Structure formats: structure tokens, C-alpha cells
Amino acid sequence: MNKSDKLIFGLFLSVVFLVLFSLLAGTIGFYVNKGNNMPYFVASGFLTGVLADILFLRKLINKLFDLPVWLLAGLYILGNVFIYGMFMGFPLFNLLMGIVAGYYYGRMISVKNIVSPQRDKLIRNVSLFTMLIMVFICISSAFLGLREKTIGEELQGMFGLNFIPSRGLIVSGTVIGGSALIIAQYFLTRIVLVKTLKANTE
């Protein structure tokens, strides 16, 4: 493990803790206290995240490439949820998580000197997993977007169109765009993984 690994993934995990606990505290404040004193709830969640960073971050970094699969999958899903919420359900930016996953597993395979056939299986399974998560993300975005009665007007304003897209055009565009993102996530993850692996074995 090199300094870049510690810096990149340490920053990623640190942000995950901070955002996770802030969101949890904000959610509790919204439902328990009806949204009153929200800054105090969010601040307490942020401080809890800081405490989690202090207590657990170093241990996670020291075992960076030996973390259990369930924890890696959970962190990947959480990262996707954060990005999904940050960009208000627009799934394009969730492709970034495929890059993170590809880079991590490329480094892990290199550091642990994993060889075929286990290496090939990992490359395939990681790419399929990121693609599957993108499937759920695109379905969620389509479900939420198509429920909006003013989706046509919103798209017209967003893209500066001189017409209001019809329902059929919106549905077909959603299917084509979602399918493209799903396929792109698979190949993006795979390409980054393989290139990272080659860069560290040459």
C-alpha cells in the first residue's frame, strides 16, 4: 500500500462517515422533532462522524485491502446514495463510483498479487456488481421522474428546448439513456480496473 492509496481512500472513507452521520441525525431531527432545531441535529451528526473518523479510520486504512466484501459493498452503495441525493436523482454522476470501485480493486489485485482464474473472476464480478447498482439507480430515477406531471416542462427548461417533450419521447429517452448508463458503468469499471492493474504490474 502506498501513500496515494492512504490519501485517496482515507479521504473517501472520512467523507462517508461525516455525511452518513450528518444525514442520519438530520433524518432523526426531521421525524422526531418535526424539523425544528435542524442545525443542532446535523451538527451533532457531523461531530459523531468526526469521532467515527478518529476511532475507526486508521484501523480501516491499515486493513484497506483486506476489508470484508459486505463492508465494501455497503460503502459502495452508500457512496451511490450520497451522489444520487447530491445531484437530485440525476444518475449520470453515479458513474464516478464505478471509477472508485475499479481503481480500488485494481490496486487490491496488484497489492495482493492475485492471479487467474481468481483475478478474472474478481474483474467480472466487480463490474457486474457496479452495473447492477446502476440498474437500481436508473429504475429509481425513472420511477420518480415519470411520476412528475410537469416533467415535460422541467425538461424543456433544463435543456432549453423550444418544445415540450411528449410522454412517449420522455419514456423512450429514459429507457435509452438508462440502458446506456448501465452498460457504461460495466465497461467503465472494468476498464479502470484493468488499466490500474496493468499500471501497477508493468
Q: What total of structural domains would you count in the chain?
A: 2
Q: Is 65 exposed, middle or buried (0-12, 13-18, 19+ CB in 10 A)?
A: middle
What does 103-121 look like in DSSP terms, one character per residue?
HHHHHHHHHTT--TTHHHH
- Of 44, 65, 86, the position where a domain reaches its end is 65
Query: Is the same domain home to 23 and 37?
Result: yes
Question: What string of H, E and C letters represents the secondary structure of 124-137?
Answer: HHHHHHHHHHHHHH
Residue 39 to residue 96: CA distance in whole angstroms: 30
Tens-level pLDDT at each residue, the chain (202 residues): 677 778 888 888 888 888 888 888 877 877 777 667 788 888 888 898 899 888 888 888 888 888 899 999 998 998 898 888 878 778 899 999 999 999 999 999 998 888 889 999 999 999 999 999 999 999 998 888 777 777 777 776 766 777 777 777 778 888 999 999 999 999 999 999 999 988 876 5
Query: Is the same domain home to 158 and 106?
Result: yes
The number of helix segments (H) and strand segments (E) in the chain equals: 8, 0
Q: Are 40 and 71 in contact (CB under 8 A)?
A: no
E strand or H helix at 189? helix 167-199
Query: Is the same domain home to 72 and 59?
Result: no
Q: pTM for the full model?
A: 0.82
Residues with Cβ within 8 Å of 21's Cβ and at least 6 positions away in sequence, in order, are 45, 46, 48, 49, 52
* Residues of the domain holding 28: 1-65
Query: Is the same domain home to 7 and 51?
Result: yes
